[in-house]
Amino acid sequence: MSEARITVEKQDAIAVIRLARPERLNALDLEMLRALDETCAAIETDSAIRAAVITGEGKAFSAGGDIKAWAGMGAGEFGHQWVRFGHRVFERLAGLRVPLIAALNGHALGGGLEIAACADLRIAETQAKIGLPETSLGMVPGWSGTQRLVRRFGIQPVRRMALCGEMLSANEAVQLGIVDRVVGTGEAFAAAIAQAQAIAARGPTATETVKLMLAAAEGEGAPAAVEALGSILAAKTADLREGVSAFGEKRAAQFQGGW
Protein backbone atom coordinates (compact mmCIF):
# COMPACT_ATOMS: atom_id res chain seq x y z
CA MET A 1 0.00 0.00 0.00
CA SER A 2 1.23 3.47 -0.86
CA GLU A 3 3.78 4.69 1.67
CA ALA A 4 2.39 2.03 4.06
CA ARG A 5 -0.03 4.58 5.51
CA ILE A 6 -2.15 1.65 6.63
CA THR A 7 -0.25 -1.44 7.76
CA VAL A 8 -1.77 -4.84 8.41
CA GLU A 9 -0.27 -7.83 10.17
CA LYS A 10 -1.64 -11.08 11.48
CA GLN A 11 -1.08 -12.29 15.01
CA ASP A 12 -2.44 -15.83 14.85
CA ALA A 13 -6.19 -15.38 14.22
CA ILE A 14 -6.12 -11.61 14.81
CA ALA A 15 -5.67 -8.93 12.13
CA VAL A 16 -3.88 -5.83 13.41
CA ILE A 17 -4.63 -2.66 11.45
CA ARG A 18 -2.43 0.37 12.11
CA LEU A 19 -3.04 3.92 10.98
CA ALA A 20 0.56 4.70 10.08
CA ARG A 21 0.99 8.40 9.50
CA PRO A 22 2.25 9.54 12.89
CA GLU A 23 3.87 12.72 11.56
CA ARG A 24 0.34 13.97 10.80
CA LEU A 25 -1.23 12.43 13.91
CA ASN A 26 -2.65 9.73 11.61
CA ALA A 27 -4.83 12.27 9.83
CA LEU A 28 -6.69 10.61 6.97
CA ASP A 29 -6.26 11.41 3.28
CA LEU A 30 -7.63 9.69 0.19
CA GLU A 31 -4.69 7.30 -0.02
CA MET A 32 -5.36 6.13 3.53
CA LEU A 33 -9.07 5.71 2.81
CA ARG A 34 -8.27 3.59 -0.24
CA ALA A 35 -5.78 1.54 1.77
CA LEU A 36 -8.34 1.01 4.52
CA ASP A 37 -10.85 -0.15 1.89
CA GLU A 38 -8.31 -2.69 0.58
CA THR A 39 -7.62 -3.83 4.13
CA CYS A 40 -11.30 -4.54 4.77
CA ALA A 41 -11.48 -6.56 1.55
CA ALA A 42 -8.47 -8.64 2.58
CA ILE A 43 -9.89 -9.38 6.04
CA GLU A 44 -13.27 -10.35 4.61
CA THR A 45 -11.72 -13.02 2.40
CA ASP A 46 -9.34 -14.50 5.00
CA SER A 47 -11.30 -17.18 6.84
CA ALA A 48 -8.45 -17.68 9.31
CA ILE A 49 -9.07 -14.25 10.86
CA ARG A 50 -11.50 -14.30 13.80
CA ALA A 51 -11.06 -10.80 15.25
CA ALA A 52 -9.38 -7.51 14.36
CA VAL A 53 -7.73 -4.64 16.22
CA ILE A 54 -7.30 -1.12 14.85
CA THR A 55 -4.92 1.39 16.41
CA GLY A 56 -2.68 4.33 15.52
CA GLU A 57 1.07 4.78 15.43
CA GLY A 58 2.68 7.45 17.55
CA LYS A 59 0.87 9.73 20.00
CA ALA A 60 -2.61 9.76 18.46
CA PHE A 61 -5.21 7.29 17.30
CA SER A 62 -6.28 9.73 14.58
CA ALA A 63 -6.76 13.48 14.42
CA GLY A 64 -9.44 12.98 11.74
CA GLY A 65 -9.52 14.01 8.10
CA ASP A 66 -6.40 15.80 6.89
CA ILE A 67 -7.44 19.42 6.30
CA LYS A 68 -4.79 19.80 3.59
CA ALA A 69 -6.27 16.80 1.77
CA TRP A 70 -9.77 18.25 1.43
CA ALA A 71 -9.55 22.03 1.85
CA GLY A 72 -8.71 22.63 -1.82
CA MET A 73 -11.45 20.41 -3.23
CA GLY A 74 -14.42 21.83 -5.07
CA ALA A 75 -17.89 21.16 -3.65
CA GLY A 76 -18.63 18.28 -6.05
CA GLU A 77 -15.25 16.65 -5.58
CA PHE A 78 -15.53 17.07 -1.83
CA GLY A 79 -19.00 15.54 -1.70
CA HIS A 80 -18.26 12.57 -3.95
CA GLN A 81 -14.57 11.70 -3.57
CA TRP A 82 -14.20 12.64 0.08
CA VAL A 83 -17.50 12.31 1.93
CA ARG A 84 -19.31 9.61 -0.05
CA PHE A 85 -16.21 7.48 -0.58
CA GLY A 86 -15.28 7.83 3.09
CA HIS A 87 -18.81 6.74 4.02
CA ARG A 88 -18.48 3.60 1.90
CA VAL A 89 -15.15 2.74 3.50
CA PHE A 90 -16.46 3.28 7.03
CA GLU A 91 -19.58 1.23 6.30
CA ARG A 92 -17.30 -1.57 5.18
CA LEU A 93 -15.20 -1.25 8.34
CA ALA A 94 -18.28 -1.29 10.58
CA GLY A 95 -19.66 -4.27 8.69
CA LEU A 96 -16.58 -6.49 8.94
CA ARG A 97 -17.65 -10.10 9.49
CA VAL A 98 -15.33 -10.33 12.52
CA PRO A 99 -15.49 -8.26 15.72
CA LEU A 100 -13.33 -5.13 15.56
CA ILE A 101 -11.68 -3.56 18.62
CA ALA A 102 -10.32 -0.01 18.54
CA ALA A 103 -7.25 0.60 20.71
CA LEU A 104 -7.31 4.36 21.27
CA ASN A 105 -3.67 5.03 22.03
CA GLY A 106 -4.29 8.78 21.92
CA HIS A 107 -6.72 11.41 20.70
CA ALA A 108 -9.64 10.31 18.48
CA LEU A 109 -11.03 13.46 16.90
CA GLY A 110 -13.46 14.03 14.04
CA GLY A 111 -12.88 11.29 11.50
CA GLY A 112 -10.74 9.49 14.04
CA LEU A 113 -13.72 9.18 16.36
CA GLU A 114 -15.87 8.14 13.40
CA ILE A 115 -13.41 5.30 12.71
CA ALA A 116 -13.46 4.29 16.38
CA ALA A 117 -17.27 4.25 16.28
CA CYS A 118 -17.09 1.58 13.55
CA ALA A 119 -15.53 -0.81 16.06
CA ASP A 120 -17.54 -3.19 18.22
CA LEU A 121 -15.47 -2.29 21.30
CA ARG A 122 -13.23 0.65 22.19
CA ILE A 123 -10.39 0.64 24.72
CA ALA A 124 -8.93 4.08 25.43
CA GLU A 125 -5.78 5.17 27.19
CA THR A 126 -6.28 7.62 30.02
CA GLN A 127 -4.72 10.58 28.17
CA ALA A 128 -6.94 10.22 25.08
CA LYS A 129 -9.34 13.01 24.15
CA ILE A 130 -12.55 12.34 22.24
CA GLY A 131 -14.30 14.98 20.16
CA LEU A 132 -15.94 16.30 16.99
CA PRO A 133 -14.22 19.64 16.29
CA GLU A 134 -15.52 20.14 12.73
CA THR A 135 -17.76 23.17 13.38
CA SER A 136 -14.74 25.14 14.61
CA LEU A 137 -13.58 24.97 10.97
CA GLY A 138 -16.99 25.81 9.54
CA MET A 139 -17.43 22.15 8.59
CA VAL A 140 -19.73 19.35 9.76
CA PRO A 141 -18.97 15.70 10.62
CA GLY A 142 -19.01 13.87 7.30
CA TRP A 143 -18.32 10.20 7.93
CA SER A 144 -21.39 9.32 10.02
CA GLY A 145 -20.51 11.44 13.03
CA THR A 146 -24.12 12.54 13.34
CA GLN A 147 -25.56 9.16 12.38
CA ARG A 148 -23.62 6.10 13.58
CA LEU A 149 -22.38 7.95 16.68
CA VAL A 150 -25.95 8.86 17.65
CA ARG A 151 -27.14 5.27 17.10
CA ARG A 152 -24.34 3.84 19.18
CA PHE A 153 -23.80 6.43 21.89
CA GLY A 154 -27.05 8.39 22.10
CA ILE A 155 -27.71 11.90 20.88
CA GLN A 156 -26.77 14.02 23.90
CA PRO A 157 -23.02 13.34 24.09
CA VAL A 158 -22.85 13.81 20.31
CA ARG A 159 -24.62 17.16 20.70
CA ARG A 160 -22.08 18.20 23.32
CA MET A 161 -19.18 17.32 21.04
CA ALA A 162 -20.57 18.45 17.66
CA LEU A 163 -22.47 21.60 18.69
CA CYS A 164 -20.45 22.82 21.64
CA GLY A 165 -17.01 21.53 20.67
CA GLU A 166 -16.67 19.73 23.99
CA MET A 167 -13.64 17.47 24.25
CA LEU A 168 -14.26 14.46 26.43
CA SER A 169 -11.60 12.79 28.49
CA ALA A 170 -11.30 9.03 28.35
CA ASN A 171 -12.89 8.77 31.80
CA GLU A 172 -15.82 10.94 30.75
CA ALA A 173 -16.19 8.90 27.55
CA VAL A 174 -16.36 5.61 29.44
CA GLN A 175 -19.09 7.00 31.71
CA LEU A 176 -21.10 7.94 28.61
CA GLY A 177 -20.59 4.54 26.97
CA ILE A 178 -18.47 5.96 24.14
CA VAL A 179 -15.53 3.78 25.18
CA ASP A 180 -15.80 0.47 26.98
CA ARG A 181 -12.63 0.52 29.08
CA VAL A 182 -9.93 2.97 30.12
CA VAL A 183 -6.37 1.78 30.64
CA GLY A 184 -3.06 3.42 31.41
CA THR A 185 -0.84 5.17 28.87
CA GLY A 186 0.75 2.63 26.54
CA GLU A 187 -1.61 -0.18 27.54
CA ALA A 188 -4.48 0.04 25.03
CA PHE A 189 -2.97 -2.16 22.34
CA ALA A 190 -2.10 -5.02 24.68
CA ALA A 191 -5.57 -4.82 26.24
CA ALA A 192 -7.19 -4.87 22.79
CA ILE A 193 -5.13 -7.89 21.72
CA ALA A 194 -6.12 -9.74 24.88
CA GLN A 195 -9.78 -8.97 24.22
CA ALA A 196 -9.42 -10.07 20.58
CA GLN A 197 -7.80 -13.34 21.67
CA ALA A 198 -10.71 -14.03 24.01
CA ILE A 199 -13.16 -13.40 21.16
CA ALA A 200 -11.13 -15.53 18.73
CA ALA A 201 -11.34 -18.49 21.14
CA ARG A 202 -15.13 -18.54 20.88
CA GLY A 203 -17.16 -20.22 18.15
CA PRO A 204 -16.38 -18.27 14.96
CA THR A 205 -19.66 -19.03 13.18
CA ALA A 206 -21.72 -18.11 16.23
CA THR A 207 -19.67 -14.95 16.75
CA GLU A 208 -20.14 -13.83 13.16
CA THR A 209 -23.87 -14.57 13.37
CA VAL A 210 -24.27 -12.65 16.64
CA LYS A 211 -22.48 -9.66 15.11
CA LEU A 212 -24.96 -9.69 12.22
CA MET A 213 -27.90 -9.99 14.61
CA LEU A 214 -26.67 -7.09 16.73
CA ALA A 215 -26.14 -4.98 13.62
CA ALA A 216 -29.72 -5.64 12.56
CA ALA A 217 -31.01 -4.72 16.03
CA GLU A 218 -29.07 -1.47 15.91
CA GLY A 219 -30.18 -0.61 12.39
CA GLU A 220 -26.61 -0.92 11.14
CA GLY A 221 -26.98 -2.45 7.67
CA ALA A 222 -30.15 -4.25 8.74
CA PRO A 223 -31.29 -5.29 5.22
CA ALA A 224 -27.90 -6.83 4.42
CA ALA A 225 -27.76 -8.53 7.83
CA VAL A 226 -31.22 -10.08 7.45
CA GLU A 227 -30.50 -11.32 3.94
CA ALA A 228 -27.09 -12.69 4.92
CA LEU A 229 -28.60 -14.63 7.84
CA GLY A 230 -31.43 -15.93 5.66
CA SER A 231 -29.02 -16.99 2.94
CA ILE A 232 -26.77 -18.81 5.41
CA LEU A 233 -29.78 -20.65 6.78
CA ALA A 234 -31.03 -21.61 3.32
CA ALA A 235 -27.55 -22.77 2.32
CA LYS A 236 -27.67 -25.44 5.04
CA THR A 237 -30.91 -27.05 3.84
CA ALA A 238 -31.54 -30.27 1.96
CA ASP A 239 -33.91 -28.26 -0.22
CA LEU A 240 -31.01 -26.23 -1.60
CA ARG A 241 -29.00 -29.36 -2.33
CA GLU A 242 -32.03 -30.85 -4.11
CA GLY A 243 -32.65 -27.65 -6.06
CA VAL A 244 -29.07 -27.42 -7.27
CA SER A 245 -29.00 -31.14 -8.18
CA ALA A 246 -32.28 -30.86 -10.08
CA PHE A 247 -30.99 -27.85 -12.01
CA GLY A 248 -27.83 -29.69 -13.01
CA GLU A 249 -29.76 -32.82 -13.97
CA LYS A 250 -32.43 -30.84 -15.88
CA ARG A 251 -35.34 -32.30 -13.89
CA ALA A 252 -38.09 -31.00 -11.66
CA ALA A 253 -36.97 -30.55 -8.08
CA GLN A 254 -38.58 -32.75 -5.43
CA PHE A 255 -38.45 -30.55 -2.32
CA GLN A 256 -39.04 -32.28 1.02
CA GLY A 257 -38.64 -29.32 3.34
CA GLY A 258 -35.77 -30.95 5.21
CA TRP A 259 -32.60 -29.58 6.72
Q: Among all residues, which ones are annotated catalytic?
A: 114, 134
Q: What span, in angstroms and rounded, lies between the C-alpha atoms of 62 and 34?
A: 16
The secondary structure of 213-226 as a DSSP string is HHHHHHTSSHHHHH
Short-list 225, 192, 218, CA closest to 99: 192
Q: How far is CA 118 from the centre of its chain?
A: 3
DSSP H stretches of helix in 59-119: 67-70, 75-77, 85-94, 111-118
**DSSP E strand boundaries for 126-228:** 129-131, 168-169, 181-183
Please report which helix (H) or strand (E) contains residue 34, including its range.
helix 30-44
Q: What span, in angstroms and rounded, lies between the C-alpha atoms of 80 and 178?
A: 29
Dmax (CA) of the chain: 67
Q: What span, in angstroms and rounded, lies between the C-alpha atoms of 241 and 135?
A: 56
Q: What span, in angstroms and rounded, lies between the C-alpha atoms of 56 and 162?
A: 23
CB atoms within 10 A of CB 53: 26
Q: What span, in angstroms and rounded, lies between the C-alpha atoms of 259 and 121?
A: 35
Query: Are the beta carbons of 30 and 3 closer than 8 angstroms?
Result: no
